[in-house]
Chains A and B, each alone.
Chain A
Amino acid sequence: AQTVTQSQPEMSVQEAETVTLSCTYDTSESDYYLFWYKQPPSRQMILVIRQEAYKQQNATENRFSVNFQKAAKSFSLKISDSQLGDAAMYFCAYRSADAGGTSYGKLTFGQGTILTVHP
Chain B
Amino acid sequence: DVKVTQSSRYLVKRTGEKVFLECVQDMDHENMFWYRQDPGLGLRLIYFSYDVKMKEKGDIPEGYSVSREKKERFSLILESASTNQTSMYLCASSSYRRSSGNTIYFGEGSWLTVV
Q: How far is the CA of A47 from the CA of B105 in the complex (A)?
A: 8
Tell me if A's interface is mostly helix, strand, loop or mixed. Answer: loop
The tally of residues in A whose CB lies under 8 Å from a CB in B reads 24
- Flag if B96 contacts A105 (CB, 8 Å): yes
Chain B residue at minimal CB-CB distance from A42? B108
When chains A and B are docked, how far (Å) is the Cα of A35 from the Cα of B88? Answer: 21
Is A68 an interface position by the 8 A CB rule? no
Q: Are B103 and A47 in contact (CB under 8 A)?
A: yes
Interface of B is mostly: strand
Alpha-carbon distance A112/B88, docked complex (angstroms): 15
Within 8 A of A (CB), among B26-58: 31, 33, 35, 40-45, 48, 50, 56, 58
Are the CB atoms of A109 and B42 closer together than 8 Å?
A: yes
Asked whether, in the complex, the Cβ of A97 is within 8 Å of the Cβ of B102, the reply is yes
- A111-B94 contact in complex given A43-B88, A95-B102, A106-B58, C-beta closer than 8 Å: no
**Is B104's beta carbon under 8 Å from chain A?**
yes
Residue of B nearest to A37 (CB): B106
B33 CB contact (under 8 Å) in A35, A43, A99, A106: A106
CB-contacts of A1-53 with B (<8 A): 9, 33, 35, 37, 42-45, 47, 50
Give Cα A45 to B92, complex, Å: 10
Q: Are A107 and B104 in contact (CB under 8 A)?
A: yes
Q: A33-B102, A42-B108, A50-B103 in contact; A109/B43 too (CB < 8 A)?
A: yes
Q: Say if the beta carbon of B98 comes within 8 Å of chain A.
A: yes
Most buried by B among A33, A35, A45, A102: A45
Contact residues in A for B41 (Cβ distance below 8 Å): 111
